[in-house]
Amino acid sequence: MSMAPQPRVRVMVVEDSLVVRQLLVHIIASDPRLLVAAAVSSAEEALQEIGRVQPDVISMDIRLPGMDGLEATRRIMSEQPTPIVVIADSIEDSSLKISMNALRAGALTVVEKPVGLSSAGYAGIASTICTQLYIMSQVPVVRQRSFAPWREKTMSPAPRREAEWKATRPSVMGIAASTGGPPALAKILSALPANFPLPILLVQHMGAPFMEGFASWLNGLMPLDVRLAQDQEIPSAGCVYVAPGDRHLLLSPAGTLRVSGDPPLGNQRPSATMLFQSIARSAGPRGLGVILTGMGEDGAQGLVEMRQAGGYALAEDESTAVVYGMPAAAARLGGVNLSLPLDLLAPRILKLAQGDGE
């Protein structure tokens, strides 16, 4: 018996430039998983048409005449929640800032805008756009959050005795996220004080051209000093070191940062698992790991190794995660000491960092 073909994902394209709009329509139409349900040139038109078109996912330009893509994202997420993929110029500061704020307003990811068919990298960008539209169309953005009185769920017993751990003040923190990550990271990190006693190593899955803009956007939101990690740098307390685009970030046995072009792990570079594994090897019981919203399983195996080395691991709880993929995988493998909703993570991180144990 043959399987029925999967229905194609309906995409609405919002893009004011005719040339880019035609290019996007061409890219999307040539992917058998996707169907162009509508292509409009303004946010106003998108809002007017969305009820009729009922797209599964929206490709959103950020610089639009009239209402910009950020405001459009806000309106769509409040009126007719639909997965949104922001398509942005990777080099323009102003559009980068708007893109990052659109992620905060509920867009799921940001990808690079395609340029002409003949340009270098076109095929790669086109395939990234299609894959992201397809994957994001599956994210249930209308989430039933049951904010019933929340009970702390302590996860599977740690491989080591907890009492032993409590005496150990962490020396370094690793934090990782993927889909839904930028707003979650912004929320947690901006709640930490400037004199936070640990260096923080951060992995966020995002297109390489956006990482520098992402780091400077985060830096503008908080007391902590946020920057792209540099190879051989000595990490200092109260600083957040972001894995650069398409590079792994590791903590070397000597305690310095290592930025590496080693092959991707599980299709990811940077890999959260490789970050956590390096912290397990380098810091042992003095490692603190945090895993947030994201699709897939990156980071899970790394947190297992951190706990086996005597370290401590926190995960975002299902009640707040945009995509409960990475934290779920880590919890399932026994890589998590405690799962907490987003707003309870920063206070807990602060307590652990100050050596107050649980």
Q: Where are the beta strands (DSSP E) in the chain?
A: 9-14, 34-40, 57-61, 84-88, 109-112, 153-154, 172-177, 200-204, 225-228, 239-242, 248-251, 257-260, 287-291, 312-316, 338-340
| Rounded CA separation 288/170 (Å) | 6
From the candidates 205, 248, 271, 317, give the one annotated as an active-site residue. 205
Phi/psi for 207 (5° steps) reads -55, 140
Would you call 26 a catalytic residue per the annotation? no
From the candidates 61, 68, 298, 317, give the one annotated as an active-site residue. 298
- The residues pairing with 268 across neighbouring beta strands, listed in sequence order, are 265
Are 181 and 293 within 8 A, CB to CB? yes
| Rounded CA separation 289/245 (Å) | 21
Are 335 and 313 within 8 A, CB to CB? yes
Phi/psi for 349 (5° steps) reads -60, -45
Would you call 248 a catalytic residue per the annotation? no
Per the document, the length of the chain is: 358
Secondary structure class of 280 (helix, strand, coil): helix
Full strand arrangement of the beta sheet holding 172-177: 153-154, 338-340, 312-316, 287-291, 172-177, 200-204, 239-242, 225-228
Nearest to 337 by CA among 304, 311, 313: 313
| Rounded CA separation 92/333 (Å) | 41
Number of Cα atoms under 13 Å in the Cβ half of residue 210: 25
From the candidates 90, 178, 278, 339, give the one annotated as an active-site residue. 178
Would you call 225 a catalytic residue per the annotation? no
| Rounded CA separation 338/348 (Å) | 10
Q: Rounded to the nearest 10 degrees, how much is the dihedral formed by the CA atoms of 92, 95, 97, 102?
A: -150
| Six-digit token string for 217 | 């956007």
Secondary structure class of 153 (helix, strand, coil): strand
- Residues labelled as active-site residues: 178, 205, 298
